[in-house]
Amino acid sequence: MTVAWYGHVKFFQNQSLLFVILASWGIAFFEYCFQVPANRWGYGEFTATQLKLIQEAISILTFIAFAVIVLGESLKWNYVVAFALMMVAVWFAIAIK
């Protein structure tokens, strides 16, 4: 979803909005093909809330890497602290019964 949602700001700046929307949906389709089965198989081992927290943590980590590597943005200390706190939240949701 990171590439679908943010890739156009670097790669498709001169394209029409309609093209960008269709291209983004085309890219996002493949993630949905993995996410839906993962949620189906994971539900039962994890609650829906736990699955969502895990998914958000993975999304944020992926976005940070994308922003630094592809978009050339700098990684600031407060982003690292915010991500670490999110990881603590995921741990609390999963590890503490």
Residue-wise pLDDT tens digits, 14-73? 888 898 888 888 888 888 888 888 888 999 999 998 888 888 888 888 888 888 998 899
Residues of the domain holding 82: 2-95
Please tell me the total count of domains within the chain. Answer: 1
pLDDT, mean of residues 63-91:
90
Q: Is the pTM of this model over 0.75?
A: no
Cα gap 50→90, rounded to integer Å: 7
Residues 6+ away with beta carbon under 8 Å from 51:
38, 39, 42, 43
Q: Residues, the chain, total?
A: 97
Give pLDDT, residue 73: 92
Residue 3, φ and ψ in degrees, nearest 5: -65, -40
Q: Is the pLDDT of residue 97 over 80?
A: no
pLDDT band with cut points at 50, 70 and 90 for residue 1: low
